[in-house]
Structure 1
Amino acid sequence: MRGRDEESGEFFSPSRSQNRRDALEVLALGEKLVALTEAQLAKLPIPDSLLPHIRDCRRITAHIAHKRQLAYLAKQMRREDDDVLDAIRDALDEDGEAARREVAAMHRVEAWRERLLADGDAALAQLLDEYPTADRQHLRALVRGAVDERNKNKPPRQFRELYRELRELIVGGSAGTDEEDADNVED
């Protein structure tokens, strides 16, 4: 029995309907996790205690047994903190904060690559001012090779290698200066 607070008139705990809605949300989250590949699961902040249950649910193919195992997975997930489940939901959500940061980082890297290809040494000097640990000669060689590939309609091998180098430099080297980089690239 839930009961009410005599002073405020509010209920002490959530209603049975709310508890059921919460449980069904966790069950739906479990279904999403079971549908993911191992590589996708590795990227998510899933506790190690849940991974064997997810794998067991994948392994079982009989309809009712699969449904039962999925319910067991949801039960184990409900035992986790709400923060853990929220972190998993956010990581799964394409509109989540983590996805937005990743897309923003990708756009910064692509913008730098296009600036390097369009402006050449002037853009390279600006990049080196912001990231002094960068290898000037290697980046210059990649830029020249990418421009040459573009002019001769060759496959974009060095174009892609330039992207990888810039991503390692920009995303790998500056974890806390995301907003500064976004402002500088927009100029």
Structure 2
Amino acid sequence: MSPAWCARAAQPYNCTSRNPGACGIACRRTLRDPQVTPDRPRDSADPGDDTGPSKSERKRAAHAAQGLGEALIRLRDAELDALGLPERVSDAIREARRITSRAAGARQRQYIGKLMRDLDLEPIRAALAARSEQHARETERFKRAEGWRERLLAEGAAALTELERWRPGLDREEWTRRIGAAQTERARSGGCGAAGRELFRALRALFDTMP
């Protein structure tokens, strides 16, 4: 007997007829899928079939593309131009910056995400990661210079001696002058003015040349 697919039962069954469908029950094997045979039932998977990404995978990809687009909106123009994005994408990103309406902004971000799905996102991710690392290094240098300025202003010569161990050969006389001027300025005004900024810039320059 030939196995068939019964539309009424919605499952395979052993047809008792040599002519499936003759009983009056529509058989999908005969009416809908002529490729299904006793040797190749409907539920057998073809190794060559490619069903593509699932709905959840497509949804995750869409969210990732939109998230990447939102990161691009926060870039400066020079950073955006350096990525070499298609004009329609960069124009959409610049337009998003000008939108003030919350709802319109959300629609624009979704549109950017849709455009991003047609691009190779890996180079963009790599560029953003490199930018993030550079920003982290700059932030660390800024905090280190700021911390050392406070130490030099508070501890004076003792802190300068420790700094000199890090950077042998620095002009101690010049650094003493800078520190003294910044200390006098803070004592007079309670904050950091020109002398304090000069000391900070000198520290930044010093740390930028250190390994």
TM range, smaller chain: 0.5 to 0.7
How big is the shift at 1:137?
A: 3.4
Partner of residue 143 from structure 1, selected from 179, 190, 196: 179
Partner of residue 125 from structure 2, selected from 81, 85, 89: 85
Between structure 1 and structure 2, the one with the greater Rg is: 2
**Contact 1:110 1:163 (8 Å CA) reproduced:** yes
**TM-score normalised by structure 2 residue count:** 0.56
For residues 88-103 of structure 1, the aligned pairs below 5 Å read 88=128, 91=131, 100-103=136-139
CA change 1:164–1:13 in 2 (3 A) is farther
Unaligned runs of 5+ in 1: 6-10, 177-187
**Contact 1:116 1:124 (8 Å CA) reproduced:** yes
Structure number with greater CO (CA < 8 Å, separation at least 6) is 1
For residues 1-187 of structure 1, the aligned pairs below 5 Å read 15-38=54-77, 42=79, 47-50=82-85, 52-57=87-92, 58-59=94-95, 70-71=112-113, 73-75=115-117, 78-81=119-122, 84-88=124-128, 91=131, 100-132=136-168, 134-153=170-189, 156-157=192-193, 158-170=195-207, 172-174=208-210, 176=211
Percent of aligned pairs with the same residue? 29
Cα distance in 1 for partners of 2:51, 2:177 equals 68
**Between structures 1 and 2, the one with greater helix share:** 1
Letter in 1 for 2:180: R
Tell me the C-alpha RMSD between the 2 structures: 3.9
CA change 1:118–1:80 in 2 (3 A) is same
**Contact 2:83 2:124 (8 Å CA) reproduced:** no
Cα distance in 2 for partners of 1:169, 1:20 equals 49
